[in-house]
Amino acid sequence: MRNYLSVVGFISLVNCQTTLDQPPGPNTFTPTLTLESTANLAPSVTPNVINPTTPNAQEKCPGYIASNIRTDNSSIIADLALAGDACNAYGNDIQDLILNVQYQNATRLNVKIYPKYIAAANYSQYILDASLSPSGKIEEKSTIDTSDLLFEWSNDPSFQFRVRRASSNEILFDTYGTKLVFEDQFLELVTAMVPDYNVYGLPEAIRGSFKLPNDYTQTFWNQYNEMNDQPVDANMHSVHPVYLETRYDSSTLSSNSHVVYGRNLHGQEWVLKPEKLIYRAIGGSIDFYFFSGPTPTEALAQQQLGVIKTPAMMPYWAHGFHQVRWGYQNWTVLREILDGYKNADIPLEGIWNDLDYLFQYRIFSHDNNTYPVPEGREFLAKLHADGQYWMPILDPNVYVPDPTNGTDSFPTYDRGNELELYMRRGQGNEEYYIGDQWPGFSVWPDFLLESAQDFWADEIERYYQDLEFDGWWLDINNLASWCTGSCGSGRTQDNPIHVPFKLPGEPGQINYDYPEAFEVTNATEAASAIAASISQAAAYPTPTTTIGTPTVGFTSPTPGVRNLTFPPYALNLTLEGHSLLRQSIAPYAKHNDPYNSTSYDLHNLYGIISSRATYAGLLRAKPGLRPFLLSRSTSPGSGSIVGHWGGDTNSRWGNMYMTIPEALTFSVAGIPFFGTETCGFNGNADMELCTRWMQLSAFFPLYRNHNSRNTIAQEAFRWATTAEATRRVMKVRFELLPYTYTLFWKANQYGETVMRALSWNFPSQEQLKSVDNQFMIGPSILVTPVLAPLLREAHGVFPGIGEGTRWYDWYSLEEVSAAPGQNVSLSAPLEVIPVHLRGGAIIASQTPGNTTKQTRMNPWSITIALDDKLEATGDIYLDDGVSLEPEETNVVSFKFADLNLSISTEGTYNDNNPLASITVAGWRGDRLTKVSVEGAGPDAGVHCEGRHSQWNRRWYQHWYPHNDHQYSQVYNCRGLNVIVAGGALSKDIKLRFE
C-alpha cells in the first residue's frame, strides 16, 4: 500500500490534482470470517451455440398443423397440433397450442402462440402476466382492413407465417420454410432476413457498434460479473428482447423501419446469421409484437404507446450533474467534494453515496461512526437549502442476523421475517433461500407479494424519517448472489461474513490500470504504475482456481420433468462456466405467489418488480413528488418508472466510445434516461480521458461521475484542464435544459425519443446507418465527441447538407460549410466538444446557474437557427419540475417566418423570468437593425447587432446559386426586457424584425 500511495501521490502532483487524490483506504467494515472461494463455484456447461454435437431442432422436430380457424374483424384464432412424433429436442414437446393473432390497432400486430391447456401449476412457466410486464390489447375500431400490417400463414408443409406491410406488400417477418418448435424448456422461431440487414437494439450489452453484426448472438439472462462488469457482446443486467430494423431503397432514396418485440422474459438467445434470425427461449411462449413505423421514431413511439408504456418524467433537478464515489468515507468528505466543485465554479446538482454510508453494508442503516444521523441531518439541511440533493444506494437484499449473537440484530430483517415474505429455497424446501451479498448471508424480498411491497415502502418511509434522501439508485437487483445455492442455510451464525473474493481497496486489490496512451502522455508515471502493479502481484499472488466440478454434458429431457438447474438448451452466459447457477440465486428458488413461480421463470423480472416496490416507497415517503429512481436491472416497462445506468464501466477510451451504442439501444428499449459512469468506474482515469468523457456525458440524459475506491480520484475539479472543459460543456448542457426537459415531456406524452441516432432524424440517408461516433439530442442538436486519445479534432458528417438542411456551430452560430456526405474535420481543443444546431430550430435557454434551481430563476434567451426558407419553429414545456401531477403547465410555441417571431402559450403555469435576448442565425438578406413588439410605435424596439458568418463564398455559390448574392448573417438583439415586460413566456407575443 505504501508503494502504491507514493506512486499515486507522484502522479497526482504531475497532473496538478488537489487533495483527496489517493484511494480512500481499506474497507471500514472488515468481517472476521470470509466465505470460502469454493462457495462461488458451480458446474460448467457448454453453450449450445458453440456445441456442434447438440440437436438441430429444425431437422429433428415435426412442426405444427393449424386447424379450427376462427376469424373476426380484428383477430385470427386457431388450434395448433404437432405435425408428427414429438422430437423432445431440448424439452418435452407441447402437443396442443393456441394461435391468437390480434390486429390491435392500425400500426400494431400481435402474434401469440401458447399451450392450449394452462393451469395454476404451469401458469408462470408459459404466461408472462401483464402485471409483471405491460402488454397491448385490441383498440376500439381496429380491424384487419384498416391495419398497416398483414398476417398470412400456411400449413404446407407445416404451420408457418409471415407479417407483411400492407402498403407495399413487403415481408417484415418470415418463418416460411422453417418449423415452429414449442417445448416446455425450449422455443425456436426462425425468420428469414433481407441481405445485409440493418438491425439495432436487443439491450443490454456492451458492443463496439450500434448496428448489430449479421453474425452475432445476444444472450439474455441477468448476471453480475464482479470481476468485469463490462464484458463485450454478452449478457448483463437487463433484458429487452426488441429490435428496430431499417430497410433502404436506393431507387427512391427512402427507407422504411419497423420494430419487432418478443414479449418473453425467460432466458433466451437471439442468434443473428447473414440470412436469418433465430429466436430461442428456455421457457415461456411466443408473444411477438410488430410495429409498422414506417420511420424509426414512429415505430419506437408505437412500441411505447401501445405496449411497454412511455418513459417517466424525472424531476427537473435530475437533469443536473451528479457526483458519487465508492469511498466517500463520511459526511465531512461529502462536504469537501461539494466545496471542491463550488470553488472550481462547476455546477453540482447532487452528491450521492455508494455503500460507504451503511452500517456493515446493511440496507436501511447508517454507520454511526462515519455517517451519524444528527450530523447527516445538518448536512442535508444545508444541502437542500443550497438547492442540491442526496441520492444514496439501495440493494434489495436483506442481511440475516446471527441468531446466536444478541448484538447482531437487524430490525429490517425481523420485520420482514414476521411477515414471512422472503423467497424460498424451492425443490420442496420452504425455508428461506439464503445467499451471499455485500453484508454477508442475505435473503431477498418476494416483491410478487403485496405484503412485501408494503413492507418495502414502510422501510423506505421509516428511513426517510431519519435522513431525508431525495431518491434511490437501486443496485444489484438482478438476483446476484456471490455463492452457489442457498449457501447460508444453517450457517447464519457465521454472519457477518465477507464475500468470497477481495473487494476493491483491500490488500492486493489496488488498481494500477490507466487508459490507452497514458504511457505517451505520462511516460514516467506509467512506468511507475507498472512497477507498482508488478510489486503488488508478487506480494499478493492470484490463487489458481478451476471451475468447481467437471463440465455437465448435454442433459436429455426427462418426460414430465423440467431440469431447472441444467436445462437441455445451455445459454451462452458470460460468466465462467456458463451455468445458470453462477453468481445468482439458483433457478430452482421459489416465489410465494399462488403459482409457486420459480426463479427460472421470473429471474429476469426481479429488476422491475423491485423497482416498482421502491417507486411506491418513494411516493409514500415524498407524496406528490416525482420519484427519482435508477435501476441497474431493467426489462420492458421499466422506463415508465426508472432510469438506468450502464454499469461499472472501465476507464478506457474504447469503453467510452461504446457508451454511445449502449445509450442508443436503450432508446430502442424505451428507457431514455440513461447515463454511464463518467470517466469510468474501474481503473484510473487520466486528465485527457476524463476531460473528453465529461464532455461526452454532458449530452447524456443522466450525467454522473462515479468510480471505485481502489483508484485515484476523478472528480471534475481534480485537473485544471478538466475543470475548464467541464465548465464550458456544462454551460451548454444547462442552456439546453428547457429543450431537453421538453423532449422528455414529449417522450412521456407521445413516445418520442430523446437521444437519437443520426439515421433516425434523416431516415432517407443510407450512409448514416452505421454512424455511432455522433448522435443527436432530439431533432435539432448534433454532438460530435472526441473518442480517442491525443486528438485535437473530431470527425463527423452533417446530414441533410445539399438537401436544404443547414447546420450552425453552437458556440459561434457560424454556418457549417460542408459537402453532402463529407466527413468533416472539426477543431476540438481539449476544452471543447463540437456541438451543432440544426437549421429550422428555435431554442429557448436560461442563463446557467450553479444548480438547476438557480438556473430556472434566470432570464430567457432565444436562439433562432433559420432553415433554407429562412424559417424556424420550436417549443418548450414548463411546469414546477417536481410534481408527479402538476396542477399548472404551459406549452410555449415559437415560430419565425417573414421576419416575425410569434410566441404563443397554452396553459396556466406562470414563468416570471424576463426575456433578455434573441439571436438570429443564418439570415440572408438586408441587415436586421431592430426588433419590436407588434403594434408598438415607430420609435419603439431594441437595436440588433449583426455580423456575417465566416462563409466560403465559392462553396456557397455552388450549392445555393439562387442566393449567390447573399451571405449567412448572425444578429443578436439584447435588452428585450425593456419592451417585453414581466414573464415573457407566460403570454402571447409577436415580435417584428426590421
Q: How high is the pLDDT of residue 982?
A: 76
**C-alpha neighbours within 13 Å on the C-beta side of residue 919:** 18
List the beta strands (DSSP E) in 202-241: 216-220
Sheet holding 350-353, edge to edge: 629-631, 472-474, 389-394, 350-353, 321-325, 703-707, 677-678
User: For the segment 602-626, what is each residue's pLDDT rounded down to a tens digit?
Assistant: 999 999 999 999 999 999 999 999 9
Give the Å distances, CA to CA, from 96 to 183, 511, 550: 11, 57, 38
Please determine, for residue 981, whether its predicted confidence score (pLDDT) is greater than 80: no
User: For the segment 290-310, what is each residue's pLDDT rounded down to a tens digit?
Assistant: 999 999 999 999 999 999 999
Least confident range of 503-517, 539-553, 822-836: 539-553
User: Which amino acid is present at 454?
Assistant: D
**C-alpha neighbours within 13 Å on the C-beta side of residue 98:** 16
Read off the pLDDT of each residue in 148-165 and give the average, rounded to a whole number: 98
630: three-class secondary structure by DSSP: strand
Please determine, for residue 26, whether its predicted confidence score (pLDDT) is greater than 80: no
pTM: 0.95
User: For the segment 695-711, what is each residue's pLDDT rounded down to a tens digit?
Assistant: 999 999 999 999 999 99
* C-alpha span between 297 and 778 (Å, rounded): 10
Terminal Cα distance for the chain, rounded: 70
Please determine, for residue 573, whether its predicted confidence score (pLDDT) is greater than 90: yes
Q: For residues 528 and 7, is the Cβ–Cβ distance under 8 A? A: yes
Structural domains present in the chain: 56-89+93-183 (2.60.40.1760), 859-994 (2.60.40.1180)
Q: How high is the pLDDT of residue 227?
A: 75
Pairing of strands 497-498, 33-34: parallel
Please determine, for residue 965, whether its predicted confidence score (pLDDT) is greater than 80: no
User: For the segment 223-282, what is each residue's pLDDT rounded down to a tens digit?
Assistant: 998 777 888 999 999 999 999 999 999 999 999 999 999 999 999 999 999 999 999 999
**Residue 18: pLDDT band with limits 50, 70, 90:** very low
Please determine, for residue 5, whether its predicted confidence score (pLDDT) is greater than 90: no
Q: How many CB atoms lie within 10 A of CB 415?
A: 16
Kindly report the backbone phi and psi dihedral angles of residue 615, in degrees, each rounded to the nearest multiple of 5, phi listed first: -60, -45
E strand or H helix that includes residue 534: helix 523-539
User: For the segment 81-126, what is each residue's pLDDT rounded down to a tens digit?
Assistant: 999 999 999 999 999 999 999 999 999 999 999 999 999 999 999 9
Q: For residues 401 and 413, is the Cβ–Cβ distance under 8 A? A: yes
Read off the pLDDT of each residue in 921-932 and give the average, rounded to a whole number: 94
Q: How high is the pLDDT of residue 959?
A: 42
**Residue 980: pLDDT band with limits 50, 70, 90:** confident
Counted residue by residue, the chain has a size of 994
Q: How high is the pLDDT of residue 345?
A: 98
* C-alpha span between 566 and 577 (Å, rounded): 12
Q: How high is the pLDDT of residue 953?
A: 42
**Residue 601 is placed in which grid cell?**
421463470
User: For the segment 322-360, what is each residue's pLDDT rounded down to a tens digit?
Assistant: 999 999 999 999 999 999 999 999 999 999 999 999 999
User: For the segment 378-424, what is each residue's pLDDT rounded down to a tens digit?
Assistant: 999 999 999 999 999 999 999 999 999 999 999 999 999 999 999 99
User: For the segment 620-679, what is each residue's pLDDT rounded down to a tens digit?
Assistant: 999 999 999 999 999 999 999 999 999 999 999 999 999 999 999 999 999 999 999 999
**Residue 951: pLDDT band with limits 50, 70, 90:** very low
Please determine, for residue 739, whether its predicted confidence score (pLDDT) is greater than 80: yes
Least confident range of 2-6, 646-650, 914-918: 2-6
Q: For residues 245 and 501, is the Cβ–Cβ distance under 8 A? A: no
Q: How high is the pLDDT of residue 948?
A: 75
**Residue 483: pLDDT band with limits 50, 70, 90:** very high
User: Which amino acid is present at 331?
Assistant: W
Chain centre to alpha carbon of residue 453: 25
Question: What percent of the chain is modeled with pLDDT above 90?
Answer: 90
Secondary structure, 3-state, 334-373: HHHHHHHHHHCCCCCCEEEECHHHCCCCCCCCCCCCCCCH
